[in-house]
Amino acid sequence: MGMDGVNGDGAQGAVAGDLRIGVFVCHCGGNISDIVNVETVVRQAAELPGVAVSTGHMFCCSDPGQAAIEQQIREQRLNRVIVAACSPSLHELTFRRAVARAGLNPYLFEHINIREHVSWVVEDKEQATRKAFRLIRAAVARAAHLAPLTKRRIQIHPSVLVIGGGIAGLTAARDLAARGIRVTIVESNPFLGGRLAQLYRIYPTGQRAREILDPLIRQVAADPLITVYTNAQLESSTGVIGDFRTTVRLTPRGVTEDCPDPQAAIDSCPEECVDQFNLGLSKRMAIYKPYDGCYPDLPAIDWRNCTKCGACFQACGGRGIQLDDQPQFVEIQSGAIIIAVGLNTYGPRHGEYGYGQYPEVITLAQMNRLLDPEGPTKGRLLVNGRTVRSVGFLHCVGSLQREGIHRPMADGKLNMYCSRVCCTTTMHTAEQVRERFPGVHVYDFHEDIRTYGRRHESYYDHVCEQGVAFIRFDPMRPPAVEADPKGEAALVVRTVDRLTAGEEIEVPVDLLVLATGLVARDMTRLIDLYRCSVGADRFLMEVHPKLRPVELAASGLFLAGSVQGPMDIGESTAAAAAAAAKASALISTGTIEMDPFVAEVREDRCSGCRICLNACPFSAITRNEEFARAEVNPAVCLGCGTCVATCPCNAIQQYGFSDEQIKAEVAALLAEKPEYGPGWQPRIVAFLCYWCSYTGADNAGTARLKYPANADIVKVMCSGRIDPELITSAFSWGADGVMVLGCHIGDCHYTSGNHKTMVRMPLVRRLLAQFGIEPERFRHEWVSAAEGEKFSRLVKEMTEQVRALGPLNWPSHLDAVGVGHGHDLEPWGEEQTCQITAD
């Protein structure tokens, strides 16, 4: 991976030479100028330090408006541009592009919003004009600290690593290869296919699972762009988006292509062991193939059960059998990684509904093997050699667990979630039983029937028509299973049927099928390697369930299929294709461009305290152990600025939102000397996160909700960037009140930036109280993008509250204390008065 610097030619500082700022104030065809006196504002702005041009325009965003800005930049050699117009969400990009066309770095541009935040919300024209000028003055002050920035460009290695060779991994790999992208599949088992290979018929199409799987595997195996490693376990990983390096350990297969007669090798093996593929319903040898037509079509040795007796070696004349191979390691370079390791089925504990206790109690997955004509019973419904006359299905085994009823899992947590696929699978299986074995009675014990998906309900309908008996149990009193005391059937299920008003019933069944839920695999390795996070359900957690359902928090890592939660086959393939689409987009661009507003650590100031590592929602910060300091990976940083507010040494800065810039802005908002007396206007600084609260303020504007002109908005990307120091600065510079508004908890554009705000602000409130600042002067609230009404109400309330309290006027307080404005006295060398004299 290569990355261009954030700053063109490392130019971090100001543009060489004097500041030449251009201020362009939009009339917006009266939308602004009907309320704001644009002429006054333009005239006042012209007198601000550094301003070379100050002018108004009817429509800045129009072609002539943009042309006028470009012309002024060229003719007046402007090196900073400010446009005061509508919301930046509408036209910031428009003006940035215009500035760039005129040959100026587009980040030397500052957009301020005097329409949605001023003219549309302030009724009093004089107040509106003053507020507009304050905002422009603040922008001018901020502009002095702007630096030319360039977008980050990250090069992407044109290949993808797919972890997992089940339906999701295979689908993703096939799709990517179809887009001409090189793919490596890493599967930990010796054979591809995952759980799908074990299924018999799948809903909602009723197809044989292998009708889907086999052609897919053939396609993947034949594709020259796809490399497959089976028996391959993840060993270690380094790198970030664009350039991941994953080391994989290849466990020897024991059998090579040279083997002249693999079947003879299998037949010669004396070591019989449990056949995992048939879920323990049959046996196989220690050298084995799970089923005919598996891929690779070459047996593998199960090292846990192999005694290395050499029988297979001899059966093959010593060719193609390698009993003493050592593991090999390969490093796989990739620009992106798709994680598709799938899930496990819940294994009932011994005695749970008679499982393990009675051979007639099996799981739904085992039932699927029994129904398979190629399965352990060749498709006959036999248990213990006995023909089955009645079957019971019991739902929610290992799912929807409840405290006090179910025993927690090994990690102490209950599986509270619904496993999503079991209801429909049960209906589908019951349907097959009724169709293939019409004499067999079927009972269904359920809490709810959740046949949610397309065509799922029709299975439910069918089995109802086919005479399956439904019994609804109370989850707080789950059914009990025991051997049938009368000996009529193998078992009896005792339960209360809520459908018949709580009648206690006993249902004799020859076979009880537990509709076992789905559980996450052990994710420890993935967490170690890729810093993935898991939810309370132990499945991997996507970065945002709505917006980015197939992405992990760290860029370049994608999720495909049921590694993320229970899914059926169609859902898994859809998720796999969606993940492939993300990876394909990443690879096909070759490089990605990202906003330059990243954080950067000043090495000479960082003490390596590691606190920022806790702050970053994206793990973009690591600690360089050699130099004991933090480093921001600009390829991973998304620019929320939460670390900047966190660093207790101010050793981290964010491009575009440095302390210097924000403080200059705040100071300029408060620069005007307030007029005390009857016309006194409270001065309130409002720090707003861009994604929710700023948009909420825009929303108040578009809805023309009027509120007082007293709250001046300072924009940051995330409320996590709002350093408590900014709040005390604002007060000490004369603010009468401060507001901090961010996205609601859970809505943060940066996942958890606002969690930091949630902790800091109450602490700030306590500090302020100790300094004697009334709690009404500081307000911290969550405002969403839709809550324009709330925003306007908050400003109204805040203004009224502060007005009632009167001026805070901290500068005069500091004067009274005797420290002036908190800065040093006159420079050394000037006359110092002194009363003590020599005798």
Ranges within 129-188 binding another protein (CB under 8 A): 175, 178-180
* Residue 790 sits in the site that holds another protein (CB under 8 A): yes
Choices 265-273, 358-366, 378-386, 758-766 (CB under 8 A): range interacting with another protein: 758-766
Give the phi and the psi of residue 623 in degrees, each rounded to 5: -105, 125
Q: Applying CB under 8 A, which of residues 133, 691, 694, 778 lies at the interface with another protein? A: 691
Q: Which of residues 379-408 bind another protein (CB under 8 A)?
A: 400
From the list 750, 658, 741, the residue with the least C-alpha distance to 694 is: 741
Q: Applying CB under 8 A, which of residues 183, 569, 632, 709 lies at the interface with another protein? A: 569
Choices 156-164, 255-263, 338-346, 811-819 (CB under 8 A): range interacting with another protein: 811-819
Question: Residues with Cβ < 8 Å from 692, sequence gap 6 or more?
Answer: 742, 743, 744, 747, 749, 782, 783, 784, 785
What is the SS3 assignment for 278?
A: coil
Least Å distance between CB 659 and another protein?
8
Q: How many whole angstroms separate alpha carbon 383 and alpha carbon 389?
A: 11
Nearer Cβ to another protein (366/646): 646
Choices 227-235, 237-245, 593-601, 637-645 (CB under 8 A): range interacting with another protein: 637-645
Helix (H) or strand (E) holding 65: helix 63-75
Q: Which of residues 478-507 bind another protein (CB under 8 A)?
A: 498-502
Q: How many whole angstroms separate alpha carbon 129 and alpha carbon 35?
A: 7
Q: Applying CB under 8 A, which of residues 5, 8, 50, 204 lies at the interface with another protein? A: 204
Instruction: Build a one-symbol-per-residue string for 80-119: x at contacts with another protein by CB under 8 A, - elsewhere.
Output: ------x--xx--x--------------------------
From the list 34, 89, 82, 76, the residue with the least C-alpha distance to 60 is: 82
From the list 521, 619, 578, 580, the residue with the least C-alpha distance to 233 is: 521
Nearer Cβ to another protein (310/545): 545
* Residue 526 sits in the site that holds another protein (CB under 8 A): no
Tokens of 330: 């390969």
Least Å distance between CB 781 and another protein?
11
Least Å distance between CB 98 and another protein?
14
* Residue 225 sits in the site that holds another protein (CB under 8 A): no
The CA distances from residue 495 to 173, 393, 406, 505, in Å, are 48, 13, 16, 6
Instruction: Count residues binding another protein (CB under 8 A).
Output: 168
Nearer Cβ to another protein (96/441): 96
Nearer Cβ to another protein (252/535): 535
Task: Please compute, for residue 559, the number of CA atoms within 13 A of its CA located in the half-sphere on the CB side.
Answer: 28
Q: Which of residues 311-370 bind another protein (CB under 8 A)?
A: none
The CA distances from residue 100 to 79, 85, 150, 590, in Å, are 11, 18, 11, 24
Residue 363 bridge partners (DSSP): 514
The CA distances from residue 417 to 411, 517, 519, 520, 832, in Å, are 15, 9, 10, 12, 76
Q: How many whole angstroms separate alpha carbon 54 and alpha carbon 91?
A: 19
Q: Which of residues 586-625 bind another protein (CB under 8 A)?
A: 588-589, 602, 604-615
Q: How many whole angstroms separate alpha carbon 304 and alpha carbon 702?
A: 69
Nearer Cβ to another protein (440/645): 645
Nearer Cβ to another protein (175/712): 175
Least Å distance between CB 249 and another protein?
28
Nearer Cβ to another protein (301/700): 700
Instruction: Build a one-symbol-per-residue string for 7-26: x at contacts with another protein by CB under 8 A, - elsewhere.
Output: --------------------
Q: Applying CB under 8 A, which of residues 14, 52, 61, 264 lies at the interface with another protein? A: 61
Nearer Cβ to another protein (249/706): 706
Nearer Cβ to another protein (449/491): 449
Q: How many whole angstroms separate alpha carbon 487 and alpha carbon 24?
A: 93
* Residue 647 sits in the site that holds another protein (CB under 8 A): yes
Q: Which of residues 438-477 bind another protein (CB under 8 A)?
A: 448-458, 461
From the list 599, 601, 611, the residue with the least C-alpha distance to 657 is: 599
Q: Which of residues 252-291 bind another protein (CB under 8 A)?
A: none
- Apex 526 CA angle, 524 and 528, nearest 5: 70
For the chain, how many residues are written?
A: 839
Q: How many whole angstroms separate alpha carbon 509 and alpha carbon 488?
A: 9
Nearer Cβ to another protein (46/585): 585
Q: Which of residues 767-786 bind another protein (CB under 8 A)?
A: 767-768, 770-773, 784-786
Q: Is 623 exposed, middle or buried (0-12, 13-18, 19+ CB in 10 A)?
A: middle
Q: Applying CB under 8 A, which of residues 6, 23, 216, 391 lies at the interface with another protein? A: 216
